[in-house]
Amino acid sequence: NKKVFIFDLDGVIVDTAKYHFLAWQKIAKELNIDFTLEHNELLKGVSRVRSLDIILELGNVEASQEDKDKWLIQKNEDYLTYLVDMDESEILPGVFTILKFLKEKNQPIALGSASKNARPILKKTGILSYFNVVVDGNDVTNAKPDPEVFLIAAKLLNISPENAIVFEDSVAGVQAANIGKMTSVGIGEASILHEAKYIFKDFTEIDTDFIEELIRK
């Protein structure tokens, strides 16, 4: 049975959460909303539009659509300035080893991210060529925990969801994989990602035997 290995982007391949945080914090400051690193956890895996709504809810701020649109543009323009200097040194530990192993084994690799900036990030970090398909925030209408982003990726490669393995750092992403009947692999804290079928702290904890086992299953 042919498998597909689907990777989330932020929190799995790179840590762009720190840049999202800096950009959102500027908006929050302007609006006098207290926005901490702890709050930032709530935005992981969540779309840009929903992220802004969460921040406004935190500050009990009501805003017009016009203002929201303005802040969304402002946030993204600021976020993009942090991406300018990104390079392959920002690939999280252990990720390269697994990507290379999957390539050696001729396994299809997909990206399944909520971000609309996924392609430039993959290009800047030099790993775009590892991916057989890239499905991101530009391709979906339903955000995680809806499995749409992962289902599209599997479908593009003609692989049934049961044969898809999803690496995710967010609760919503793990739920999306589970709802889609895929094998969920949580990357992060077991206490947070307990719904995942397998959980690892990071990719350095995943050995190639485990990947081989997934391929054979």
174 binds ligand B16 (CB under 6 A): no
Contact indicator for 151, 129 with CB cutoff of 8 Å: no
* C-beta nearest to Mg ion: residue: 11
125 binds ligand B16 (CB under 6 A): no
Tell me how far apart the alpha carbons of residues 156 and 135 are, in angstroms, rounded to a whole number: 9
Give the one residue of 25, 107, 117, 184 binding ligand B16; rule: CB under 6 A. Answer: 117
Query: Please, what is the minimum distance in Å from the beta carbon of residue 191 to Mg ion?
Result: 17
For the segment 56-75, give every residue that binds ligand B16 (CB under 6 A).
none
Query: Please, what is the minimum distance in Å from the beta carbon of residue 212 to ligand B16?
Result: 26
8 has catalytic annotation: yes
48 binds ligand B16 (CB under 6 A): yes
Q: Which is nearer to ligand B16, 113 or 175 (CB)?
A: 113
124 binds ligand B16 (CB under 6 A): no
Give the one residue of 137, 192, 195, 207 binding ligand B16; rule: CB under 6 A. Answer: 137
Between β-strands 109-112 and 4-7, what pairing exists: parallel, antiparallel or unpaired?
A: parallel
Contact indicator for 138, 112 with CB cutoff of 8 Å: no
Tell me how far apart the alpha carbons of residues 74 and 64 are, in angstroms, rounded to a whole number: 15
10 has catalytic annotation: yes
51 binds ligand B16 (CB under 6 A): yes
For residues 158-182, one letter each, b for 16 or more C-beta atoms within 10 angstroms of the residue's C-beta and e for the rest, the string is: ebebebbbbbbbbbbbbbbbbbbeb
Contact indicator for 112, 8 with CB cutoff of 8 Å: yes
Q: Which is nearer to Mg ion, 33 or 168 (CB)?
A: 168
Contact indicator for 201, 93 with CB cutoff of 8 Å: no
Q: Quick one: tokens of 146? A: 């809806």
CB atoms within 10 A of CB 73: 10
Give the one residue of 113, 125, 178, 183 binding ligand B16; rule: CB under 6 A. Answer: 113
Give the one residue of 115, 117, 125, 170 binding Mg ion; rule: CB under 5 A. Answer: 170
Between β-strands 198-200 and 109-112, what pairing exists: parallel, antiparallel or unpaired?
A: unpaired
Q: Which is nearer to Mg ion, 170 or 178 (CB)?
A: 170
Please name which of 1, 23, 4, 31 lies closest in space to residue 151, comparing C-alpha atoms.
4
10 binds ligand B16 (CB under 6 A): yes
Residues that bind ligand B16 (CB under 6 A): 8-11, 20, 43-48, 51, 76, 113-117, 137, 170
- Which positions are catalytic? 8, 10
